[in-house]
Chains A and B, each alone.
Chain A
Amino acid sequence: MSLITETNQQYYEGAQGFVGDNVKESFLTTFNTDLIFGSFDPAAVNYALNNFKLYTSPSGLPGTYTEYITTFTVLNNTINFPAAPATGLYIVVQLKILSGGNYGDSTAGTGFDAIGEVVEDNYGGYEYIVLNDAIDNFMVGYVGDGKLLQKAKKSDVLFFAKRSLQEFSYDTLKSVHSQELNIPPSLSVILPQDYVNYVRVSWIDQLGVKRIIYPANNLTISPYENPIQDQAGVPTQDNFGGNIEGTSITEARWKAANDNLLNGRLINNIDALAEFQNALGFNGDFNTGRQYGLDPQLSQVNGWFNMNEREGKMSFSSNLAGKLIVLEYISDGLGYDADTKVPKLAEDALYASILYSIVSTRSGQQEYLVQRLQKDRRAKLRNAKIRLSNIKLDEIVQVMRGKSKWIKH
């Protein structure tokens, strides 16, 4: 069986059509996406839950489709009408799409278009395999009589599959999570709900170009606790015996800091003065040695961020106030159901990882077998990482051309 089950129309348009015959009351949709049904009635609150709209037309001609808002139900991706639609009635199920779909155009602007991102969520889905499918495949291919795993509980396979996906997410899989945020006056943004670690933080300039913001590792810190001390320096407690927490003075000072004093950037008016002096040929000692002793790691004007573990936030240096930033981060791949998918380029590595994990945690396994599976896992994981690194020879060549190093290919 081929792996692609959707028609071109289902994939690209997010639409599937049927024709009534006055007999059939149920119509089965075969999208990759399951239909979500709240209500047929636009006046009902649950109507907003629907991830599709239903249109009908007597002729099937463009511009003649209107939304069907009379009674119908959806069960197991099947649209059920209370009575069989008339013969020749064209019925279209349109998943919500950014463009609103072609079928609601006749009433465009009146709120009948199927606007949403359901179809877009499915685009590019062939790149991935769903974790559930990977587990089922593993049970078929690796578990059973005459195989390495005579028997394996599905809950064990599920556990190791999820653990493997977590580990893969940290260092092998592509980081696909990112958020576009504005830095508020408080200079802190809340970490995303599925945040595990950051990959890169950048601010976006007027051209849309991203400028890397660096961590303020050695410059400042957000203390985890700020106990209020008495005269003797002993933390004071509240009525319940817990330390009384104050606000952080370190953070307050950092927020008020002039970054130019840290990054070695010449202050604008002095720059102007220096240029003026240089232009006039003053060769005095004004500028001599002014850049001496710069620490390269601090000599950047993009700004800094640091993690505020106490508040679960990311804090930024004061020069970034009001700036637009993009936070790229990694999750563990298990935050949401939609996340539990594995790139096909890493599918084999996932199987190898599950197999190794199960065998290595069982008692009485021969050590040579465990070693073999460990090597196998490592090799496949390395392969997956190389594949997912997206190293393309043409791109490397292009970069090296800029460096005046020509690579023949």
Chain B
Amino acid sequence: MAISVNTVYQTVLYILNKEQRGYAPPDEFNSIGAQVQLEIFNSYFPDGNQVNRQNQRNTQNDTEYFNIFDNLSYRLTPFVQEITLLLNNTLTGATPIYGDGISFSYPLVDPTSGSLNPEIYLFGEVTCIYTGSPRYESVAQKTSKKEYTRIEKSNLTKPTKSYPIYYNYGSYNPSGNIPSGYSIIPSPLPDSVTASVIMRPNPPIWNFTGGSYGQYIYSSSNSNDFSLDISEQTNLVTNILKYFGIVLNDPTIIQVAEQEAQQVSINKKS
């Protein structure tokens, strides 16, 4: 469940007011909130790698709620999505990509609706679908371009509909050198491609209307909650405070917030 942007903002304001440390205007809060959210989000991946070593050594516990790796994976759940990639020569509209007929893309702009697609943070499992009878729905192996060529050349490993492979590259809009999305070249050429991806979190927005005394009044319309899981609320508040300490040039806030954040991190990983 997402974290309410208003709750976090109010908590930050209370703490800052209590300590007589000044005021955090909404614009600053939104920018710092987005930065902190991204930092926490980014930390999942090295942390996941670290705590997964317990799985590799078979020392991970098998409890329902205290398996730290599972808990970390759970926090990523809101960002996991399944997307459909489009064959490049089928793209229409304002952003035709490449048009080579052998690559599949997830364009920055949806060619049908014209709206911006959510930004992909990481690509996971890619599934190639071959229609017909029989129908194949096979997980493709990700390779580098070099491996791709090698695998293609060996008769024993040559990709088939049961064992497709792909490599990825950033495609460019032919009309200009503007990156126009994430593309893959699979082999053999499938009829359609789906992929499990992790989306980049939406930046938080604390939107407001002006009060009769010129004060800011929270407006839920056009506001964005933090995309992080609710279990990250404490972490989020302390890290935002840390940044406000820097903005306000107050080392005591930084110190307290850093200690707090460090303690949370140690508890998680030990």
A residues engaging B (CB < 8 A)? 34-37, 74-78, 132, 145-146, 150, 153-155, 158-159, 162-163, 334
Chain A nearest CB, measured from B132 CB (Å): 7
Option from A34, A37, A162 in Cβ contact (under 8 Å) with B156: A162
**Do A154 and B156 have beta carbons less than 8 Å apart?**
no
Compute how far the CA of A150 lies from the CA of B49 in the bound complex, rounded to whole angstroms: 13
**Do B132 and A76 have beta carbons less than 8 Å apart?**
yes
Residues of B within 8 A of A132 (CB): 162
Residues of B within 8 A of A75 (CB): 131-133, 135
Option from A74, A78, A154 in Cβ contact (under 8 Å) with B163: A154
For residue B168, CB closer than 8 A to chain A, the reply is no
**Do B157 and A155 have beta carbons less than 8 Å apart?**
yes
Residues of A within 8 A of B57 (CB): 146
Option from B135, B141, B162 in Cβ contact (under 8 Å) with A76: B135
Residues of A within 8 A of B156 (CB): 158-159, 162-163, 334
Number of A-B contacts (CB under 8 A): 50
For residue B192, CB closer than 8 A to chain A, the reply is no
Can you list 5 A-B pairs with a CB-CB distance of less than 8 A?
A132-B162, A145-B56, A146-B55, A158-B156, A158-B163
**Do B163 and A145 have beta carbons less than 8 Å apart?**
no
**Do B157 and A145 have beta carbons less than 8 Å apart?**
no
**Do A76 and B56 have beta carbons less than 8 Å apart?**
no
For residue B134, CB closer than 8 A to chain A, the reply is yes
Q: Which B residues between 44 and 69 are near A, CB-CB below 8 angstroms?
A: 52, 55-58, 60
**Do A153 and B141 have beta carbons less than 8 Å apart?**
yes
Chain A nearest CB, measured from B146 CB (Å): 13
Q: Which residue of A lies closest to B139 (CB)?
A: A154
For residue B154, CB closer than 8 A to chain A, the reply is yes
For residue B151, CB closer than 8 A to chain A, the reply is yes
Residues of B within 8 A of A155 (CB): 141, 143, 147, 151, 157, 163, 165
Q: Which B residues between 167 and 205 are near A, CB-CB below 8 angstroms?
A: none
Compute how far the CA of A72 lies from the CA of B113 in the bound complex, rounded to whole angstroms: 35
**Do A150 and B133 have beta carbons less than 8 Å apart?**
no
Residues of A within 8 A of B55 (CB): 145-146
Residues of A within 8 A of B131 (CB): 75-76
A-B contacts besides A77-B134, A146-B58, A159-B154, 11 pairs, CB < 8 Å? A35-B134, A36-B133, A76-B134, A78-B133, A145-B52, A150-B56, A154-B139, A155-B143, A155-B165, A158-B157, A163-B156
Compute how far the CA of A34 lies from the CA of B162 in the bound complex, rounded to whole angstroms: 14
Residues of A within 8 A of B162 (CB): 132
Residues of B within 8 A of A150 (CB): 56
Chain B nearest CB, measured from A346 CB (Å): 19
Q: Which residue of A lies closest to B143 (CB)?
A: A155
Compute how far the CA of A145 lies from the CA of B53 in the bound complex, rounded to whole angstroms: 8
**Do B56 and A34 have beta carbons less than 8 Å apart?**
no
Chain A nearest CB, measured from B24 CB (Å): 43
Chain A nearest CB, measured from B48 CB (Å): 12
Chain A nearest CB, measured from B67 CB (Å): 12
- A-B pairs, top 9 by smallest CB distance, nearest first, are A76-B135, A34-B134, A145-B55, A146-B58, A155-B157, A162-B156, A154-B141, A74-B133, A159-B157
